[in-house]
Amino acid sequence: MSKKALITGITGQDGSYLAEHLLALGYEVHGLVRRVALEDPERRFNRIAHLIESIHLHPASLESYPSIFHVTSRCEFDECYHLAAQSFVAESFSDGFSTMNTNINGTHYILAALRETQPRCRFYFAGSSEMFGKVEESPQNERTRFHPRSPYGISKVAGFELTRNYREAYSMYCVNGILFNHEGPRRGFEFVTRKISSTVARIKLGVTSELRLGNLDARRDWGHASDYVRAMHLMLQQDEPDEYVVATGETHSVRDFCELAFDEVGLDWKEYVRVDEKYYRPAEVDLLMGDARKARERLGWHPRYTFTELVKEMVHADMELLTKATERKDRGRGQEQ
Q: Which residues are catalytic?
A: 128, 130, 152
250 scored as a contact of ligand NAP (CB under 6 A) = no
| Residue 9: CB minimum distance to ligand NAP, A | 3
256 scored as a contact of ligand GDD (CB under 6 A) = no
Residue span 94-133 as binding mask against ligand NAP, x where in contact by CB under 6 A, dash where not: --------x-----------------------x-x-----
122 phi, psi to nearest 5 deg: -80, 140
Residue span 166-205 as binding mask against ligand NAP, x where in contact by CB under 6 A, dash where not: -------------x-xx-----x-----------------
Pick from 28, 43, 41: which is nearest to 77 by CA?
28
Among 117, 214, 259, 265, binds ligand GDD (CB under 6 A): 214
CA atoms within 13 A on the CB side of 301: 29
Binding partner selected for residue 13 from ligand NAP, ligand GDD, none, CB under the kind-specific 5 to 8 Å limit? ligand NAP
Q: Write out the binding residues for ligand GDD, residues 190-209 only, by CB under 6 A.
A: 190-193, 195
The residue (of 86 and 141) whose beta carbon lies closer to ligand NAP is 86
92 scored as a contact of ligand GDD (CB under 6 A) = no
Residue span 9-48 as binding mask against ligand NAP, x where in contact by CB under 6 A, dash where not: x-xxxxx------------------x--x------x----
CA distance 12 to 200: 23
Beta bridge partners of 223: 182
Among 249, 284, 296, 316, binds ligand GDD (CB under 6 A): 284
The residue (of 204 and 220) whose beta carbon lies closer to ligand NAP is 220
Region near ligand GDD per CB under 6 A, out of 59-67, 135-143, 280-288, 316-324: 280-288
Beta bridge partners of 274: 212
Binding-residue total with ligand NAP (CB under 6 A): 24
Q: CB under 8 Å to 60, separation ≥6 — which residues?
A: 32, 33, 34, 67, 68, 70, 71
The residue (of 72 and 107) whose beta carbon lies closer to ligand GDD is 107
The residue (of 71 and 288) whose beta carbon lies closer to ligand GDD is 288
| Residue 201: CB minimum distance to ligand GDD, A | 16
The residue (of 87 and 203) whose beta carbon lies closer to ligand NAP is 87
| Residue numbers at the binding site for ligand GDD (CB under 6 A) | 87, 89-90, 128-130, 180-181, 190-193, 195, 213-215, 218, 220, 254, 279, 281, 284-285, 288
